[in-house]
Structure 1
């Protein structure tokens, strides 16, 4: 394949040495994940899982800014508003791909060198090795557009230290490298300027024995200290507030504390969709008790209801379409979102449960 042909592809697959190398190749769109990319990635992982010529997989993003800044939300908005079935196809195949990454039987290495949000999280954090750099900017900002932290957030967020996952899932706050390592979202830190040398070493590796051990040892030689993690300093405060039994109780706790950090976080929560906040709260509490595949099946049930609702479209309109940053949530308050409303998101589907 010529370099010109490569540049025309949204996702590039190569075998270099004994490594399968994946490049998310939409740099002008911050490598945002399309339906076609998710389907292609899933199919390639199926093939490479059984290919003895491929001993490990590396995934990276093209360009200088992003690994993958999320899903193709604007298309989801347009297609969903018009009543098309594209959103269902996208989310189903994306979630199947997320599960494929989680269960991939060989080392799966992601270079999170830049922005990683939403859909980009789903094709990276479930792999065995997630490398942060000084360019890493991680977030799950879905509650701000009337959605919930999906792509496996149901599973990995509750498994962050203490209540960090609940804090991140509700607020959508952004993390830099040291915080992602502390939160166990990434497995180590490598300076961006050293990634090419690490990639060269990986593709030159001759695998024998335990490939996971070999990859661990190689990556360790390139890892550095990411520095102090602000999240670690905030851990006690996060745990105190976000361990409460409801979103309302979390807000009450933050406002009672009254310090600058607590008031900033409270204001952030008040800007989110009340429905999405309560949905995410229930999701993460349930996810803490569930296996990975159960979490993905739960998310599929939830997103089916979101697609049929209004909050996702209003949030996306305000943030990405009209960009007025003034969503009109309905219901407008937490008190007006009833438990029965949230229960409905988790109910079994009449047809078409997620098959993974």
Structure 2
């Protein structure tokens, strides 16, 4: 593999190493990377010479900032075919990672957002650091958490997942462990040595040598007001409860949610709650594919990416403009069967 390729695939001492290699874009995923990871995992799955997989990202800023949403924006403007194809392949990969039988060690250092969560947080050995900045920020661009994110969010303690989904705010490595997005904590300055130990000695010995007790989770410590305020039936009720709470953090959360796409918020609330009643990651990914296919045809998906990442005026004009205009029919339309539906 050459260093200018978007995904570097190698094997050392029986460990298959996947390096996301777009550091200037914080390793944002494109179709070449998704295909490369999928091909490698399939090749290694039944190869007795491969004992484990190690996922890491090039550069100092993070494992992966998510999918290449500017590419998805241009696809949406052209009818959405490329976006639908990308999500199809990406979600199949997320499911494959979720059921991978061999140790799949994901180093979730630095920024791990959106699609980065999808290629890391469904693995069976998920490592974070004090520099981890994780999140599902989709509502800020008129989109809905995907890549199996609603599966994880719906299974977080109490209503922490709803808080993360509706604010889109990043959370720490310690929070990620508390919420079920990660398993182990290794200090950033020891992560390179930990990776070498995984290759030399196996992940179990490496964890014994390098993993530490994580710091206390700040989100977990705020469960009282989060569980109370996010109990509302609708996003509007949740906002009312947040704004009326004594905790400044609750009112700050309300201010942040109020900047997000109203329809994306309403659909996200429904998606996370529905995901809680689905039985498998595959079922949730199928729901997410339907929602994503609907999103790519929506006004807010294009407008949100335009405002945040294309024109960068940070001033999206959402439509519908308010939560009150997001009726049940508009929300339900996002969950209608896609054509074709995602199959496994």
TM category (shorter chain) comes to: over 0.9
| Displacement of 1:306 | 0.7
Equivalent-residue separation in structure 2 for 1:112 and 1:21 (angstroms): 14
Q: Are 1:327 and 2:323 an aligned pair?
A: no
Q: Are 1:272 and 2:268 an aligned pair?
A: no
Q: Secondary structure at the match of 2:145?
A: coil
The residue that corresponds to 1:211 in the other structure is none
Q: Are 1:50 and 2:46 an aligned pair?
A: yes
Aligned match for 2:305, one of 313, 316, 323: 316
| Displacement of 1:217 | 4.8
Equivalent-residue separation in structure 2 for 1:113 and 1:292 (angstroms): 24
1:217-232 alignment runs, 5 A limit = 217-232=205-220
Q: Secondary structure at the match of 2:27?
A: coil
Farther-moved stretch of structure 1 (170-179 vs 16-25): 170-179
| TM-score, normalised with respect to structure 2 | 0.97
8 Å Cα contact 2:98/2:122 also seen in 1: yes
Q: Are 1:36 and 2:32 an aligned pair?
A: yes
The runs of 5 or more residues in structure 2 that have no matched partner are none
Q: What is the total number of aligned residue pairs between the two structures?
A: 343
Farther-moved stretch of structure 1 (183-192 vs 221-230): 221-230
| Displacement of 1:220 | 3.1
Equivalent-residue separation in structure 1 for 2:231 and 2:154 (angstroms): 11
Equivalent-residue separation in structure 2 for 1:166 and 1:333 (angstroms): 19
Q: Secondary structure at the match of 1:65?
A: coil
8 Å Cα contact 2:236/2:323 also seen in 1: yes
Q: Secondary structure at the match of 2:107?
A: strand
1:81-138 alpha-carbon deviations (Å, 9 max, x no partner):
1225211111111111111110111111100111000111100000001111122111
The residue that corresponds to 1:348 in the other structure is 337
1:33-182 alignment runs, 5 A limit = 33-182=29-178
| Displacement of 1:258 | 4.7
Q: Are 1:336 and 2:332 an aligned pair?
A: no
1:236-282 alpha-carbon deviations (Å, 9 max, x no partner):
11101112222111111112215421211111111101100010000
RMSD: 1.3
The residue that corresponds to 1:296 in the other structure is 285
Aligned match for 2:199, one of 182, 203, 208: 203
Runs of 4+ aligned structure 1 residues displaced above 6 Å come to none
| Displacement of 1:232 | 1.9
